[in-house]
Structure 1
């Protein structure tokens, strides 16, 4: 059983047309991205190429073969550019343009050769053009968005089908006349199925793109753009989650509040740009000393918080002291290259039964205030007296 070729060609032209329309509509809004524009160009080239093949009964054969194959090759090159932008955020290397040129030169060179030779040559040329995108998708895309794995598998299928068609064309060339028609039908059907896989990969690419956009928006909603720390609301939510888990598993939970000493002086003397650099450096010091399960958040301004699961007051104090010493040792330069010394103070609290995230943070804030009162550049752990006074102030 063979496929009804005119119907399948029409389906491919319509499918790539719909893909192009979808991408054009996405590009008109705020979601337009360079990889989508390249994919849109690929879809348009595929649509026009298969539309040209569909007009074969009414157009000169040489025009259909030349224009149709060139358009399909241009589409494959644009698809490779879209994959490169998505995975590597750059254009394909220069040698890929050389591949496109070499593949395009193959088309006029084989117009007058026997059909099996032409079919095999076109399949090899297109398979070579698709190979870089397929390899990049399999090697790099597999670690990205889940939807992009479908893109990688579909591109691999399309590549294998193109190379299979080249093998079928070789068998067709050497087949007896009675069997040649069967090999010809098989070769044509495999070719069309390869581009059905490319069409499916295009729609999967769009899904992967929007999956990435959604992930980026979630990150923007939870992460401080300057320091890369979790924002205030996310830190509080993760602290509540850590405390609930600690209660279930009988594990302690520590919280550390960090605050840079005299940070206003840094902004006043050296400018806000330097102040931002200081915040980034301090954030890097803290993040480098955390475990994978710990949470580093920016609570506002120059104030940060550390959520430390399975960590009691002793361990939390030790970590806070490490961060304090690392910040004190920072070699920063202010205006005119003058040395800029930065220190921080820290308040440490351990969650107790009945504590809420707000209670624990308030307790750490009280300990931080004690550190400031005692001369700054030190770590203070909340004791029972401080806890009792904090609870009384919260209740009151």
Structure 2
């Protein structure tokens, strides 16, 4: 496959993003983060409770949670995409997750009552994270168990087959990997020769800080949805020598200003790469400690080694029972990420706020239900308009 020149990437990337977002309403929600926060500035969005300022995911849809590995080889379900992380209102993560779950339910042809029950389970799961003994692992839903089994069994060979098509020490250009400019290649080579990258790569369990690290190949990475159009690179490295040599894949992703609103005067790094890494270390420490921020080609980036265990959860064709369990479990993951940043008094106050405005017919705050109903409608309209425009352009 002939890949576009580095100077001609924008048009095919925009077309690809439009195509991905047109595949389903759920895919549209994943790719419409900016629209979500435009809505939050509307009259409806301002009716959310003002939670305590903590690091939030900022783009807390179900696809941004999943198995991740840490530097010691441990695997668990965490928030795994932190591009939009800011110090902000935790209610924003709750509404974003609820919208994602509601569109997943619609995509599974579940009745409307299932969405109401999912939101009830979601709030129960979130609030459980703030109780004593919250570190005890709850029963995982079937689809989460399946994702964890796949993550535990995955090796570098699986990662290579999925990401670069084979296990040879090159990155084949094609659908997912495009050619680089000379400046990009030189910039990545200089980056990979720094002590910071050496320390990042050799910090993984089973590697020595004295291991030799060498860049073997690199390419522009066509990956994601909302991030298509930003600078993103895959870098293949070798670690060690001779019989002990192994390979690793770096994800080098441009960091840009977050669409998620931040708390005024919050003490956050000005550099967007540093902001992403700092947020990750608060929300998903195992992942955040495998990341670093850097600058290259006059842009800010954050870098992490992509482990075989780093996977996205797919909530496809859920039964009503599976949907309810998944909602409670994933909300608890988000709750733990929020709760670890709060002292006891702050936790108590936040839980008290969340208990307000509940009706006799719905065990979830009325503000959550009304906002999700509003959002589902506005995103459905936006999705149909997106499909119409995309069809006319093609």
Quick check: TM above 0.5?
A: no
Determine which structure has the larger strand proportion and give its number: 2
Question: Under a length normalisation based on structure 1, what TM-score does the superposition of the two structures give?
Answer: 0.21
Structure showing greater radius of gyration is 1
Greater relative contact order (Cα 8 A, min sep 6): structure 1 or 2? 2
Structure holding more helix per residue: 1
